[in-house]
Amino acid sequence: MISKIIQMLLKKINLEDQLKKQKKRSTFSSNTLIDQFYHTLEEDHKTSSKIRRNTIEKNQENYNHFKLDLLDTDKIYHVTEIKKICIDYRLRFLDSSYFKGKIPKEAILKIKKLEQEHHTEVKNFKIIAPSKLFKLEDKDDPLLFACLGNDYYYLIHKWGNDMSAFRKLGMLPFKSIINLLLLIIVLSYGLTLLVPSGLFSKSESSAQFWIMCFFMFKTIAAITIFYGFAKGKNFNPAIWNSKFI
């Protein structure tokens, strides 16, 4: 039993599988995805001709003209589902122009196949990947998307290695300031327990323990704040689609 639990903890995380699970939990079902997408486009066509022309000119630069009946609905994701995965695993969802790694040949072939099937030139790609992949070459489970418009994206290809099963747990403190404070409190308490009793005073008391714990808290908090400001770090919800470091 214990060995099975250890195997589950050490099992690598497939980011595409996690995205599919999030889609199942989402309110956007496979059937409603296309319906809502069509409905949104129909609503756009009901606007005035001037606004429609401006919208069309703008959208021609922002989404691809796919034949929706030919798309695999299991690979269509709403931005809310993508955002949830990015926040949980501290990933970025950015234009492919910011990606410094190499797009694999398999992805290029899939893009060519899409272009042949849909008789269109596929543009405006997005990639989900760790922050470092948008600065350095690496291979750690990137996902390549094409923009459908109206906050919908089509998954073209996944490549690279699966992520560590501990990544989501390790990135939990960076989801919010509350999580980070809880981690600092736990660390402060744990480090205080490691301090030998009677190190600063011959007599032991609960007041001495909590004073030491408060000192540990201030020290760790100060280091965390300094590191955060020095490195320009931010919490997951603020960086998931930010092009800035």
Q: Where are the domains of the chain?
A: 13-165, 171-239
DSSP bridge pairs for 126: 95, 145
| Separation of alpha carbons 238 and 176, rounded Å | 10
**pLDDT tens track for 171-204:** 888 888 899 999 999 999 999 998 887 666 666 7
DSSP bridge pairs for 77: 153
pTM strictly above 0.85? no
More confident residue, 97 or 70: 70
Tokens 């005073």 correspond to 201
**What does the pLDDT read at residue 178?**
92
Cβ neighbours of residue 170 under 8 Å, at least 6 residues apart?
Answer: 164
Question: For the chain, what's the residue count?
Answer: 245
**What does the pLDDT read at residue 90?**
86
Of the chain, the percentage scoring pLDDT greater than 70 comes to 72
What is the signed CA dihedral for 139, 155, 15, 74, rounded to 10 degrees? -160
DSSP bridge pairs for 94: 127
More confident residue, 203 or 157: 157
